[in-house]
């Protein structure tokens, strides 16, 4: 499966874009794969983040090994099986979200972010989660290949 952005396992596959003619859920622009944030320069000088999305930078910081893909407080490193996303937030220790110097960065899970930094959800978002309404399923924007299906069957998650 070829992805729009090979470095980002959460980006849509070319197959998904092809079959999704209305473009629902697909960003309006395709990332220019020749332009990658220079994360080495970024973490050493703190400069050069402006032309990239925080998601892109976070992903590159992990794939290039500058940050571990786990919570720096409790160590959780599990990923959601369906789309391989992890419940981790990039935290700027000094509170300055423009300060990408490596010493200022850490990954925190939602729990630890809540306990030690701030509420990751607004009161409105919490209300929506706890409002007794039937939970809508996550939009089906991913496909499982045969290996993933077999793994989930072996784990008893699917029958």
* Of residues 39 and 71, the one with the C-beta less far from Zn ion: 71
Distance CA 82, CA 85 (A): 8
Distance CA 141, CA 48 (A): 32
CB of 107: closest distance to Zn ion in angstroms?
Answer: 9
Distances (CA, A) of 4 to 8, 11, 38, 83, 120: 8, 6, 19, 15, 28
* Of residues 42 and 88, the one with the C-beta less far from Zn ion: 88
Distance CA 34, CA 55 (A): 17
Judge whether 13 and 1 are in contact, CB under 8 Å.
yes
Stretch 20-49 residues interacting with Zn ion (CB under 5 A): none
CB of 12: closest distance to Zn ion in angstroms?
Answer: 28
* Of residues 11 and 91, the one with the C-beta less far from Zn ion: 91
Q: Which of 14, 74, 126, 138 binds Zn ion (CB under 5 A)?
A: 74
Q: Is 112 in the site for Zn ion (CB under 5 A)?
A: yes
Stretch of 29-37, 54-62, 107-115, 121-129 contacting Zn ion, by CB under 5 A: 107-115
Count of chain residues binding Zn ion (CB under 5 A): 5
Q: Is 71 in the site for Zn ion (CB under 5 A)?
A: yes
DSSP character at residue 148: H
Q: Is 90 in the site for Zn ion (CB under 5 A)?
A: no
Q: Is 73 in the site for Zn ion (CB under 5 A)?
A: yes
Helix (H) or strand (E) holding 125: helix 123-129
Within a 10 A sphere around the Cβ of 111, how many other Cβ atoms?
Answer: 14
Task: Please provide residue 91's backbone torsions phi and psi, each rounded to the nearest 5 degrees.
Answer: -110, 135
Q: Is 109 in the site for Zn ion (CB under 5 A)?
A: yes
Q: Is 129 in the site for Zn ion (CB under 5 A)?
A: no
> Which positions lie near Zn ion, rule CB under 5 A?
71, 73-74, 109, 112
């Amino acid at each position: 499966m070829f992805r729009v952005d090979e470095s980002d396992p959460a980006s849509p596959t070319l197959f998904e874009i092809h079959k999704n003619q209305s473009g629902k859920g697909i960003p309006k622009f395709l990332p220019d794969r020749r332009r990658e944030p220079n994360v080495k320069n970024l973490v050493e000088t703190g400069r050069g983040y402006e032309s990239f999305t925080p998601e892109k930078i976070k992903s590159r910081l992990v794939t290039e090994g500058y940050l571990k893909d786990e919570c720096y407080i409790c160590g959780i490193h599990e990923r959601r099986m369906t789309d391989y996303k992890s419940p981790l937030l990039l935290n700027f220790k000094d509170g300055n979200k423009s300060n990408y110097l490596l010493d200022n960065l850490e990954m925190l899970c939602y729990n630890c972010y809540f306990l030690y930094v701030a509420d990751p959800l607004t009161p409105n978002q919490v209300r929506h989660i706890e409002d007794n309404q039937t939970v809508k399923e996550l939009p089906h924007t991913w496909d499982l290949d045969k290996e993933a299906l077999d793994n989930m069957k072996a784990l008893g998650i699917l029958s």
